[in-house]
């Protein structure tokens, strides 16, 4: 009889996480308060799945909002807990290889293209509410298909964003989805004295969001939280039809090494109907112009940020507006006045009560506006007035262009209506004729 070696991993699961570790469903949603230990639980859940995997060349992934965050928060945990069964580690690729050949690799959602082409046996998406909404559908979901891999969406609430949508789906789809919510008041993972101190030191919204897992609490530091909640409550995030008899304008923010964002809108009776949204990373000017021309819209003006006038060496000394003019025509392009970021944010706030969004076409853009927030000053323990730069920045900057452009548009005076005056059987005399005659008679008397 061949002896077997018993390997003990340095992990003792917390009781609150046992239902998570014992799940059998392919899809899972884990909502947990701060300092609950969900990162450690997730890493050990992946390690167990990897060492027990029967897949050919099994690959498991841990995706954080940023690769730097995955490295600083998760990498040491992964090496520590996997050490007894680890064959190799590669810090450059943030990859651990286990003794059975299974690999566990850390990624950042900020570089989702680095995940394309891979096939996962299982993946954990940490702080999913901070992801760009398209990352799962465009990148992660296809990567699970060939091995029929599992996926866990984890995090702490951050308003009603894509993580809330997953949470709602998991609640409705029991049997297909595993769902676990761990608020601090029920998890038993933090002492009552610590919770009392946190409640005393934080605002009510902060405490409810960070410790009680509330999706209803306002997103901390959000610029447009109040205005978008009102848009939701008033039914202005809905289906918005394209009015073919009126022009569609576009508002742009141009990224050179990262995203370009474009909003499509119509102005109707003082309302701004935002009917479409497009964002892409790494596209050139010709590709962007092709997207514009492929839409079934009759265009008015394309509003570009002020730096579109700058000439670049890479384009043989041509500015962005000159390059776009070759495809869209110079008469359709217009540079938005150069206002400060704060003035632009104020313009958006003033405009939002007039805005109607198409919920489907503009989903990702709306989520970006919801999550666009101030940068947090760790030293002063307060939010700065300056925005945090993340995936929401380009959609929000493009929307500022929209607000400034809409405010700057000249108001078109409706043409005078000629109203017929019934005089005689032929009815050919108009009020304009009468006014002209009256003016002529007055002039002759002077």
pLDDT tens digits, 3-38: 567 778 899 999 999 999 999 999 999 999 999 999
- The overall pTM is greater than 0.75: no
Tell whether 222 is covered by a domain: no
Tell whether 219 is covered by a domain: no
Last residue of a domain, one of 210, 242, 274: 210
Same domain, 274 and 166: no
Residue 440, domain extent: 417-446
- 274 by Cβ neighbours in 10 Å (0-12 / 13-18 / 19+) ranks as buried
Q: Which residue has the tokens 């899809």?
A: 27
- How many CA atoms does the CB half-sphere of 423 hold within 13 Å? 9
Contacts of 160 (CB under 8 A, 6+ apart): 215, 216, 232, 370
Same domain, 302 and 368: yes
Q: In what order do the strands lie in the sheet with 86-90?
A: 86-90, 95-98, 103-108, 59-64, 122-125, 150-155, 27-32, 177-182
Same domain, 309 and 383: yes
Tell whether 260 is covered by a domain: yes
Same domain, 255 and 131: no
Same domain, 192 and 285: no
Cα–Cα distance for residue pair 19/323, rounded to 1 Å: 57
Indicate if the pLDDT at residue 378 is higher than 70: no
The CA–CA distances, whole Å, from 114 to 24, 98, 101, 132, 139 equal 29, 22, 21, 15, 9
Same domain, 68 and 133: yes
Query: Cβ distance 273 to 266 under 8 Å?
Result: yes
Sequential DSSP letters for 32-69: E-TTS-HHHHHHHHHHHHHHT--SSS-EEEEEESSHHH
Tell whether 347 is covered by a domain: yes
Same domain, 59 and 192: yes
Q: Is 75 helix (H, G, I), strand (E, B) or coil?
A: helix
198-217 average pLDDT score: 89
Same domain, 66 and 183: yes
Angle between helix 75-82 and 38-51 (nearest 10): 50
Same domain, 40 and 123: yes
166-187 average pLDDT score: 94
pLDDT grade for 390, boundaries at 50, 70 and 90: confident
pLDDT tens digits, 53-107: 999 999 999 999 999 999 999 999 999 999 999 999 999 999 999 999 999 999 9
pLDDT tens digits, 243-275: 999 999 999 998 765 589 999 999 998 899 999
Q: Is 19 helix (H, G, I), strand (E, B) or coil?
A: helix
Tell whether 393 is covered by a domain: yes
Same domain, 244 and 334: yes
pLDDT tens digits, 325-372: 999 999 999 999 988 999 999 999 999 999 999 999 999 999 899 989
pLDDT tens digits, 272-318: 999 999 999 888 899 999 999 999 999 999 999 988 887 664 556 78
CATH number at 173 reads 3.40.50.300
pLDDT confidence of residue 343:
93
CATH number at 298 reads 3.30.420.280
Same domain, 303 and 392: yes
The tally of domains found in the chain comes to 3
Q: What percent of the chain has pLDDT over 70?
A: 86
Same domain, 343 and 395: yes
């Amino acid at each position: 009889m061949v002896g077997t070696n018993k390997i003990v991993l340095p992990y003792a699961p917390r009781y609150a996480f046992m239902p998570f570790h014992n799940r059998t469903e392919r899809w899972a949603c884990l909502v947990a308060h701060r300092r609950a230990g969900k990162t450690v639980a997730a890493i050990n859940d992946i390690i167990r799945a990897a060492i027990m995997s029967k897949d050919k060349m099994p690959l498991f992934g841990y995706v954080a909002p940023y690769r730097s965050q995955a490295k600083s928060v998760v990498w040491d945990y992964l090496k520590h807990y996997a050490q007894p069964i680890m064959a190799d580690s590669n810090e450059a690729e943030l990859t651990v290889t286990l003794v059975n050949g299974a690999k566990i690799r850390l990624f950042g959602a900020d570089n989702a293209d680095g995940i394309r082409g891979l096939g996962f046996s299982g993946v954990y998406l940490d702080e999913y509410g901070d992801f760009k909404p398209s990352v799962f559908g465009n990148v992660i979901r296809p990567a699970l298909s060939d091995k029929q891999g599992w996926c866990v969406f984890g995090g702490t609430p951050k308003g009603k964003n894509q993580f809330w949508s997953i949470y709602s789906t998991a609640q409705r789809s029991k049997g297909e989805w595993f769902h676990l919510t761990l608020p601090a008041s029920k998890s038993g993972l933090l002492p009552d004295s610590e919770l009392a101190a946190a409640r005393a030191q934080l605002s009510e919204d902060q405490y409810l969001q960070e410790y009680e897992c509330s999706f209803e609490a306002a997103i901390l530091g959000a610029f447009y939280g109040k205005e978008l909640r009102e848009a939701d409550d008033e039914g202005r995030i809905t289906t918005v039809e394209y009015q073919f008899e009126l022009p569609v304008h576009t508002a742009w923010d141009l990224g050179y090494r990262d995203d370009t964002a474009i909003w499509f809108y119509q102005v109707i009776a003082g309302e701004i109907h935002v009917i479409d949204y497009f964002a892409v990373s790494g596209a050139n000017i010709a590709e962007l112009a092709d997207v514009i021309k492929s839409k079934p819209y009759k265009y008015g003006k394309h509003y570009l940020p002020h730096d579109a006038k700058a000439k670049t060496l890479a384009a043989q000394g041509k500015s962005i507006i000159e390059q776009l003019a070759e495809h869209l025509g110079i008469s359709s392009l217009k540079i938005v006045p150069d206002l400060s970021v704060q003035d632009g944010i104020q313009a958006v706030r003033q405009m939002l009560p007039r805005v109607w969004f198409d919920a489907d076409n503009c989903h990702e853009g709306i989520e970006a506006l919801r999550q666009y927030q101030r940068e947090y000053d760790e030293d002063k323990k307060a939010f700065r007035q300056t925005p945090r730069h993340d995936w929401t920045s380009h959609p929000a900057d493009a929307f500022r262009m929209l607000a400034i452009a809409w405010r700057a548009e000249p108001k078109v005076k409706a043409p005078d209506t000629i109203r017929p005056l019934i005089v005689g059987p032929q009815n050919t005399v108009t009020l304009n004729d009468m006014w002209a005659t009256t003016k002529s008679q007055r002039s002759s008397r002077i």
